[in-house]
Amino acid sequence: MKKKILILSGGISKERLISLDTGHQVAKELKKNSYKVKISEPDHNLEKNIKTFKPDVIFNALHGQFGEDGYIQTILERHKIPYTHSGVISSSIAMDKEISKKLFIKNKIKTPKFFTYSYDETKLNLIKKINKKLNFPVVVKPLNEGSSVNVYICGKKNLSKIIDKLKNYKKVLIEEFIAGREIQVAIMGDKKLGAIELRPKRKFYDYQAKYNSKAKTKHIIPVDLPKFKLKKLMNIAYEAHKIIGCRGVTRSDFKYFQGKFYLLEINTQPGMTKLSLVPEIAAYKGITFLKLIEWMLKDASKKK
């Protein structure tokens, strides 16, 4: 008898639409294959839906704040029902770019140089710090958003405008801009699944490049790298996955510049939409979308 799967989808983050799409795609695939499926928002009806539906596994299709930062995971732990993706602590660490980058540095994984900016500092002081530590252009991004939400490449001229745009965040990350190739790596438990290169027509692989089919980002697989370089890249992604304590599927985002790999961040709940990268990498490796989802559900049930 097929298992009952409760899919958490939607939520209140800026990635709500992506989450709804992920939830819909996963539900559609499971229903086609005789699973009993229910989709639930992570709202006041969640507890009721868990109690009445009595799922065997919860597929967490939420993205962004409250969905992949340890918050919903804390709630799910109380119900003692297996759920997909990483647990409370690893989700929290991966979502916080400052903490995760410090862990990368501690473990000798290259990541762009950075510092954080809080809004009690002056912009003049910020410019001085950039000139001293990083140089322009820089990348400005929130500490805890996903899908490249509110990520900007800034020169000295537009820095002030972007900083004002992000003032609803208490603190933002100011990061060294690394030019070069954009490469993403998928890890599937203990398996180094594969890599894909992205060539966006936009300035970089931002939110529009990720989720708007009209942006026409070119997906290149296999990645054109020497075998030893590709092996090194896969090993770095796997090491990051283990350092943070992730489980299930993760996707690590890299820049490759002048022969070096720079890890930008690790995503504990990569998208599962038609334009998503992990299903594309899995398909290239001969793993269908259904098999990928089923593996994730099985992996959830093996949670330590």
Report the catalytic residues: 15, 147, 211, 251, 253, 265, 267, 271
Look at residue 188 and give its three-state secondary structure.
strand
**Tokens at 126, concatenated:** 């910020």
Kindly report the number of other CB atoms within 10 A of residue 135's CB atom: 11
Are 219 and 280 in contact, with CB atoms under 8 Å apart? yes
In this structure, what are the phi and psi dihedrals at residue 137, rounded to the nearest 5 degrees? -75, 165
Give Cα separations from 20 to 136, 209, 266 (angstroms): 37, 18, 21
Q: Is the peptide bond before 222 cis (omega within 30 degrees of 0)?
A: yes
**What are the b/e assignments for 12-46, b being 16+ CB within 10 Å?**
ebbbbebbbbbbbbbbebbeeeebebebbbbeeeb
Q: How far apart are CA 79 and CA 88, in angstroms?
A: 14
**Tokens at 91, concatenated:** 């989700």
Are 70 and 152 in contact, with CB atoms under 8 Å apart? no
